């Protein structure tokens, strides 16, 4: 898990950053600690930005870190 004063997040997949050249799925969650609203998330790999699917429900992490489940989703 990674955290600073504004947000908390974790990359759940992949568990190792060693790749063999096949397509890779990157999955995790992201929560604002300040109530800021975000509209998208991107991963930058080798200088290229990839748009992520943002705002999917992650009930366990939302309840654990916010005390509630609901919008905006992790």
Q: Where does the chain show beta strands of DSSP type E?
A: 2-3, 7-13, 27-32, 42-45, 48-51
**Coil, helix or strand at residue 64:** helix
Residue of 21, 9, 19, 16 lying closest to 62 (CA atoms): 9
User: CA-based Rg of the chain, rounded to a whole angstrom?
Assistant: 13
Give the pTM. 0.74
> Cα(26)–Cα(35) distance, rounded to whole angstroms?
25
Model pLDDT, residue 66:
87
Model pLDDT, residue 33:
86
pLDDT in tens, the chain (74 residues): 788 888 899 999 999 889 888 998 889 998 888 888 888 889 888 899 999 888 889 999 889 988 999 888 88
Model pLDDT, residue 73:
86
């Amino acid at each position: 898990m990674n955290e600073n004063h504004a947000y908390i997040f974790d990359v759940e997949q992949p568990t190792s950053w060693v790749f063999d050249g096949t397509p890779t799925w990157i999955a995790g969650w992201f929560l604002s600690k300040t109530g800021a609203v975000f509209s998208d998330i991107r991963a930058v790999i080798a200088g290229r930005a990839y748009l992520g699917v943002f705002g999917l429900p992650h009930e366990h992490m939302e309840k654990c870190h916010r005390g509630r489940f609901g919008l905006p989703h992790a």
